Structure 1
Amino acid sequence: MSKPELPGWRWGPFTFRLPFYHTRFYWQEALQGLFVAAATGLALVPLMMEFFGLTFEQAVAMSMIHSILIGSAVIFFGEPYAPGWVTPALPLVLAFVLGGYDDPASRFQAMTALSLNFAVLLVVLGVSGLGKKFVLWLPDTLKAGIILGAAIAALKRVFIDDAERFLFQQPIAITLACAVCLIFAFSLPMQKLKERYKVFAIIGALGLLPGFIIAGVVGPMVGEVSYDIQWGILIPPVGEAWNLMSPFVIGWPSLDMFLQGMPLAIITYVILFGDMVTGNEVIRDGLTKRQDEHIDINPTRTHLSVGIRNALMGIFAPFFPTQGAMWTGVQVIIVQRWKQGVEGMNSLHSGLASYYMMGVPILFFLLPLLTGLQPLLGVALSLTLVLTGFACAYVAMSIPQNNTSRGTVVLIGAALAFFEPWIGLTFGVLATILLVGWDRNPDPIPHED
């Protein structure tokens, strides 16, 4: 007898699960989602205001659209992953868009081009089954170089490109937030403390939130943060934001934008594929404890759902790459509680839906929460990029098997971080061939279906 899958309404390869009807509500996941999603989902607001000409309210409206699309992965498409950004690609995208285009309209058009390129790539590779073959074909040195390029670009954005706007304005708050999160997420001595003391394990499981709280408390003490909390309900001005960013209003990207953005779409796909593999392994580990529930892992469905979400984002709220397959930290946290048994969580899908607040973007209407977070959004952006840079660096440097490959990875990473994507990618291919050879791993993901 096969294990049952949580029922829902099938449409094509997807499954729509109606919140509160198909999926149960768990306050533990919802509470984490409310605050952690607030700290990260709004992190792009300062960039939208500084470089894309949006007001705070319009940027919140844009973030709300992103949030709805992200939540749809669980609710409408039936994905078994906690969805999030393709975060390692973000610094490369910002370098490409902000460095290559001067006015907000053209920057939004470039974001549309990237989103639609990525959507088409996903649909073609997903339906044809070529996605896995493509990633298997790539050499390890080139993959590592792409990931290290994201690390260098992320740290360059924080410490050089945008330092005057964020880091120099709130140096103590940002430094403390980054230090706390790096220590709890990556410190080897802290891992030992987590094993011995439950309180450290609980703090570490909260992701970005501890660093964010430290910045929120210390910031006012040192004069770097000033709160102006307003009460009431905010109705996000979606119409105003649409008029400033949708290609239906400001015009469609040029052919040149599509062509220049294609290498970056390919780079982002390589990163996304790694997220999907990681997500599958986390679920499989959970299934060793939860043999009562069947979780359908379907790479074709995932390709299509991420592709559809990126196409919709490119039309309604273009800001690439906020529509990825998986948010690793959240996936691990939810699966850990799901593993504890049916008494704590009836289904993985219920835990995921609860974390994303059943697809209802409550946070974007709560004016006290939004205005309370507003002076900390620069901290949230810097924190996201620093953690991305650190994580990408250690993943990238674990891949090369010899010193020549390690040196080549650094060269490729620097080229991708400092030059346009097609130049960096071309350099990466040539450097790999000439210095290392096509060092393809014949079986890098042995458990993938």
Structure 2
Amino acid sequence: MSLQKRPTGGEQPSILGALKFRVPFVHYKLEIPDMLQGAILCVVPLSITALMTSVLGIPFEIAVAFVLLNNFLYLVHSHFGDPAVAGWITAGIPLYIAFLSGYPEGDARILALIALQLAVAVIFLGLGIFKGADALVRKMPTSLKSGILIGAGISAVMGEFAADGRVWTMPVTILTGAILGFFMLFSETAGPLRARYGFFRFVAQYGIAVPFLIAYIFGIIIGEVTPPQIEWGFTTIPFTEIVRDYSVFGLGLPPLEYFIDAIPLALAAYIIAFGDILVMDSLFKNADGVRKDEKLIFSPRRNSIIVGIRNFLHGIFAPFISLSGPGWTGGQVLVINRYMNNPRSVMDSYWGGATSIYWGMTIAIILVPVVTLFKPGLNIGMALTLLIQGYLCGYLAIEMLSRQTNLERGVAIIVGSVLATKGAAWGLGIGLVLWFVLEKNWFAKVYKATHDEAPDEDSGH
């Protein structure tokens, strides 16, 4: 098999028409830096196992199998024409825990999660199939878009620095990793260093993987991180046990009242996820402006349909407590930064990076020695991811508001503040009220019609 080449400025080759299916080594080549980065960052998806065991009572080995299934579904995006580096609906995790905690431990909580995940699937599929996602991205007022991003950014950072946040579980380790990660990705100094020194350019292409490793080793040395206990073998997926104990085929469909209870939270989860769609839309537009040799097309509709399918499959077979979302902001910026900072001769296509990061991560999760090696560092990986998400949301929101009025900026700040402190439903609801009351000019058409009909004094009439 030989790699198909694209014309300069065109889309990467694919098959199956509108499905845009891409095959490894035929339509993209594997990118070793992104694969290694994904392998190291397997700590991020594995960190959700702590909640699956404590909230849902799922054994650790089964929880790891759930994560492996989740990772395979991520690859559907990059293999069927959606450039997103997919992820969870992360910012809503505290809301999901509160919702599930209202049910008795055991099967009731599993059924409640199934109801929530299927409700989220219906929302994403409905908006995707009927083109609602594209319309939302295009027509939503800028003040609401940027307000959602501000709120998501503040929520991500607040959660890490809260009294029970991850930062305080190992403060020196996590803050060391955060400083190094931010320096590698965003520092004004890092760009010239990449351009001048080959070694720094080599290290920088691994994004936050190197800062994570440095922080992890440093944490073990200073005693904040427990040394790992390596085990051997391969991660298996016990399908029979999963179907019997955690799927609708073993437990049955949730009662109707479970679905009714889940609808408000499902809507809130979509509102939160919508912020990730806005982030990706902005990132891909920026990338298109930098890399003129390749055309990237991000369709919120396609993304929403695939997210809906992922949530549906999880809801039926293996309910996942973080839900399935449009994008993993931390991983997205790692791939897109490397893509923008390298010429075609170094990174041929964006699709190689977007797929390789999850091939590397998935292979790492299959290897039990890798899982047990990084198990003590799960909090570090999750904290770095959320802090980067907060930074990205913040600067993209400010960029959106740079050409807007003070009125729109003020509405955006209020929306973001309410969303971060009271939740997504409150934030969007207040944002819509402010838009109707403050931004929407209800008399614009009347004024224009009156003005157009008024006689022209200079015309002599």
Aligned CA distance change for structure 1 residues 159 and 237 (closer, same or farther; 3 Å) = farther
Q: State how far apart, in whole Å, the 1-side matches of 2:395 and 2:327 are.
A: 21
The answer on whether the counterparts of 2:307 and 2:324 sit within 8 Å (CA) in structure 1 is no
Mapping 1:8-407, distance limit 5 Å = 10=16, 13-20=18-25, 23-36=28-41, 38-75=42-79, 77-79=80-82, 81-85=83-87, 89-91=89-91, 93-102=92-101, 103=103, 108-109=110-111, 111-160=113-162, 162-163=164-165, 166-226=166-226, 227-241=228-242, 245-250=246-251, 251-252=253-254, 254-278=258-282, 280-281=284-285, 284-285=288-289, 288-290=292-294, 300-317=301-318, 318-325=320-327, 327-333=331-337, 335-336=339-340, 339-341=343-345, 348-357=350-359, 361-400=362-401, 401-407=404-410
Pair 1:412 & 2:415 matched: yes
Aligned CA distance change for structure 1 residues 90 and 185 (closer, same or farther; 3 Å) = same
- SS for the counterpart of 1:252 is coil
Amino acid at match of 2:176: L
The answer on whether the counterparts of 2:235 and 2:365 sit within 8 Å (CA) in structure 1 is yes
Shift of 1:106: 5.6
Amino acid at match of 1:99: A
Q: State how far apart, in whole Å, the 1-side matches of 2:298 and 2:307 are.
A: 14
Give the aligned CA root-mean-square deviation in angstroms: 3.5
Q: Deviations over 1:276-303 (max 9, x none)?
A: 523643664476225xxx8776554444
Q: State how far apart, in whole Å, the 1-side matches of 2:167 and 2:148 are.
A: 26
Amino acid at match of 2:210: P
Q: Could you tell me the TM-score, scaled by structure 2's length?
A: 0.78
Bigger radius of gyration: 2
The answer on whether the counterparts of 1:334 and 1:352 sit within 8 Å (CA) in structure 2 is no
Aligned CA distance change for structure 1 residues 274 and 113 (closer, same or farther; 3 Å) = farther
Q: Could you tell me the TM-score, scaled by structure 1's length?
A: 0.79
Shift of 1:379: 1.4
Shift of 1:142: 1.7
User: What is the aligned residue count?
Assistant: 422
Mapping 1:417-432, distance limit 5 Å = 417-432=420-435
The answer on whether the counterparts of 1:139 and 1:438 sit within 8 Å (CA) in structure 2 is no
Q: State how far apart, in whole Å, the 2-side matches of 1:154 and 1:329 are.
A: 16
Unaligned runs of 5+ in 2: 1-5, 442-461
Q: Deviations over 1:147-187 (max 9, x none)?
A: 22212222232222633xx4333222122112221232233
The answer on whether the counterparts of 2:243 and 2:317 sit within 8 Å (CA) in structure 1 is yes
In percent, how many aligned pairs have the same letter?
27
Q: State how far apart, in whole Å, the 2-side matches of 1:405 and 1:47 are.
A: 38
The answer on whether the counterparts of 2:185 and 2:337 sit within 8 Å (CA) in structure 1 is no
Q: State how far apart, in whole Å, the 2-side matches of 1:6 and 1:146 are.
A: 32
Q: State how far apart, in whole Å, the 2-side matches of 1:141 and 1:7 are.
A: 37
Shift of 1:219: 1.2
